Structure 1
Amino acid sequence: MFFKSKKVLGLDIGTSSIKIAELDVSRRGATLQSFGFAPTPPNAVAAGEISDITSVGIAVQGLISEIQTKRKNISTGMWGTAVIVKKITIPKMDRKLIQDQIRFEAEQYIPFDINNISLAHHVLNTSATDDTIDLLLIAAQNELVFQYTAVVESTGMKCSVLDVSGFALANCFEANYGRFARDVVGILNFGASITNFVVIYNGDVVFCRDIPVGGQSYTNEIHKSLSISAQEAEALKLSAVSRRGEVPAEVHSIISSTNEMVTEEVRNSLDFLSATTNGLTLTRCFYTGGSSATTGLIENVSRVTGIPFEPFNPFAKIKANPKKFSRDYLNQISHFAAIATGLGIRESGDSQ
């Protein structure tokens, strides 16, 4: 989004895990050559902000060594409350002049100090009228930009692409499913602390939001309701989801009630989508993310919203080197590989 280069590694820094993907990209498509993941150091990442750059950098360096890459450039994605993506409409003008106008427009829409943000924009294919242009305005606080670039540079690599995680999700989707001419397509990536929500229409990302719910929401509710440690709560949650051990009936009840809370947050975001995009509503929705496996979650969201949900396979068309990856392994990582993969296929000259 802010810097571009070819031959990159895709780096997804999440609250609970860090993922890295190396892909070869050609006109015939993309092929996954290496993939690695490791736990995020405890309390090092929260709400998208990296509070412990040193420990996260060490973890990333370990993954780089593990996959034994020769590449020196990294593509990573920011997320959280310090990143804002907003669709706006401005008077029609020469596209060369938009860059000069965009800072003035941002002051009206972005609730950050204009002097402390990095800005980018993307011109959408559709416009409200013949006299206007629709843009996607992207703003990130400079402190967040520093945090992500500092992590990369601490490993001796160069941060050549600094993107938004939601856009990486959309890039991975397009690489695997192509462009849908008529459908308004949503993608929900249920992560540990947030859920990335992206909407694609006419080949463009028209909505991108990080919903503040995820797997930790379930852990926190179990922790509070049963008055047990966070570690014990996480273990009970995982046992309930995997069905590999007996857990108290109350845990299932807490998971069910938390599903309702998560569903309500998703529904609120759907309402916000409609309010900010002239009434757009989803015709289909894809889901991914480690927390999407939570018992009853997808069924509940689909039932309440009335939207059909489909699993998002990041390897539907993106191939994987058969000498390095088995089908079973790809199935294991498919729930949390989409953003790293979407970042890994970035190269100079693309539109997002």
Structure 2
Amino acid sequence: MLFKNKRVLGIDLGSSSIKVAEIDVGRRVSTLQNFSLVPTPPMATSGGDITDPGLLSEAVRQAINELGTKVKNAAVGLWGSSVIVKRISIPKMEESLIPEQIRWEAEQYIPYDINEVNLDYKILNLASGQADTMEILLIAAIQEVVYTVSDVVTGAGVTCSLLDVEGFALANCFEANYGVLQGQVVGLINVGSSVSNFVIVESGEVVFSRDIPIGGLIYTNEIAKSLDVSMAEAEGMKLGLSSGQAVPEEVSSIIENTHEVIIEEISGIIEFFHNTSSAQISKLYFTGGGSSTVGFKNAINQLLPSERLDPFLSIGVNPKVFSSEYVKQVRNFCSIAVGLGLRTLGDS
């Protein structure tokens, strides 16, 4: 939403892996035509932040080259503390007057110099409950991060035509597969490696978006710390438990205890939303590599009824390119890239 520059590459710059999706967006059916996933170089990011743009660019270039695509425009997501999304109420006014009002509101709500952020907004169609006010989703992104992300993509040989909030991309993927659930409020969770995205959608509109600075890496960290092993060994134990391999018996209890840390974060956000909104979340949909950790579904079910988000429930997959086994392997990792790839040039 933050920049406008018909198909684009959806690029998810994850701290564990880079995902690129190319989607043929049709009026009735959209189809995944290309997808690549390459490891993110360890020194390219730290804690979800980009630390070596050049190194990250080379990895993105590799991912794009694997596609063999001719598409040269990209949609990329912003995440973490670099982007703030806040729902606000403002007096009803002519749409032409909203940008000036938004800038004033941003100065009250955004904890950064207003001249150092890119501002955007979305008018919510939901009733505000008051005839003289309107509901707005205020979006602010730190310019320095915007430029860095854009440079990473440009350095990989494509044009950064669209910048979106990763949470919005997640919601875009959800709507493309599940449709607009009128009258329903659902929570969407993408558990990444270092950062997790949490979005609340009401009757098809994003009404809340927040990123949590923890993800699947927290399990690896806890195993490494508790068993005094390397991160590589800890990651192997985590994945080994998920695939049924023999691992030290302590690994299972460490993971169970770590579930509580993530669930507590999610629970806090849900409680905040319920305390500040008349709407109530009825169901959670989860995705992301971190959500594949053994026991995650049972843990999150303690909060609300939940199910795994299927990015290919309604979106088709080119059978000439992808085997059903490959789709099964990448299903948990591609929702953000798919949501971005569903965008087209000229989107706002």
For normalisation by structure 1, the TM-score amounts to 0.95
Aligned to 2:60: 60
- Work out the percentage of aligned pairs sharing the same amino acid: 50
Which among 322, 332, 336 is matched to residue 319 of structure 2? Answer: 322
SS at match of 2:326: helix
Whether contact under 8 Å (1:48, 1:78) holds in the other structure is no
Please tell me the residue identity of whatever aligns with 2:225: K
Q: Look up the match of 1:125.
A: 125
- Name the CA distance, whole Å, in 2 between partners of 1:76 and 1:128: 35
Shift of 1:46: 3.0
Structure 2 letter corresponding to 1:327: S
Using the TM superposition, give the Cα deviation of residue 280 of structure 1 relative to its aligned residue in structure 2, in angstroms: 2.7
Q: Which amino acid aligns with 2:256?
A: S
- Structure 2 partner of 1:177: 178
What is the identity, as a one-letter code, of the residue corresponding to 1:154? G
Secondary structure at the aligned position of 2:30 is classed as strand
Q: Distance in 2 between matches of 1:333 and 1:150?
A: 27
In structure 2, C-alpha distance between the alignment counterparts of 1:115 and 1:275, rounded to whole Å: 32
Answer yes or no: is 1:298 the counterpart of 2:297.
yes
Deviations 1:119-148 (A, max 9, x none): 110000112311101111111111110111
How many residues get paired?
347
Where does residue 334 of structure 1 map in the other structure? 331
Q: How does 1:337-348 map to 2 (within 5 A)?
A: 337-348=334-345
Q: Please give the root-mean-square deviation of Cα atoms over the aligned residues, in Å.
A: 1.3
Determine the structure 2 residue equivalent to 1:115.
115
Q: Does 1:93 align with 2:90?
A: no
Larger CA deviation: 70-79 vs 234-243: 234-243
SS in structure 2 opposite 1:125? coil
> Is the Cα–Cα contact under 8 Å of residues 241 and 247 in structure 2 kept in the other structure?
yes
Answer yes or no: is 1:20 the counterpart of 2:17. Answer: no
Q: How many angstroms does 1:17 deviate by?
A: 0.3
Q: Distance in 2 between matches of 1:7 and 1:145?
A: 21
SS at match of 2:4: coil
- The residue type paired with residue 148 of structure 1 is V
Over 3 Å counting, the alpha-carbon distance change for 1:47 and 1:101 in structure 2 is: farther
Q: Which runs of 5+ in 2 are unaligned?
A: none
Q: 1-side partners of 2:47 and 2:129: how far apart?
A: 34
Q: Name stretches of at least 5 consecutive residues in structure 1 with no aligned partner.
A: none
Q: Check the 8 A contact 1:218/1:255 in 2, yes or no.
A: yes
Task: State the Cα deviation string for residues 50-75 of structure 1 (Å, max 9, x = none).
Answer: 11111110011111111111111010
1-side partners of 2:279 and 2:174: how far apart?
A: 20
Q: 1:4·1:347 contact (CA, 8 Å) conserved in 2?
A: no
Among 305, 308, 316, the alignment partner of 2:305 is 308
Give CA-to-partner distance per residue, 1:29-62, whole Å, 9 cap, x none.
Answer: 2111100010001031234421111111001111
8 Å contact 2:32–2:318 — kept in the other structure?
yes
3-state SS in 2 of match to 1:10: strand
Runs of 4+ in structure 1 off by over 3 angstroms are 348-351
Match of 1:119, SS state, is: strand
Q: Is the 2:8–2:345 Cα contact (8 Å) retained in structure 1?
A: no
Contact 2:7 2:345 in 1 (8 A): no
Deviation at 1:350, TM superposition (A): 4.5
Alignment of structure 1 residues 224-243 onto 2, 5 Å: 224-243=225-244
**Structure 1 residues 100 and 48: CA distance shift in structure 2, 3 A:** farther
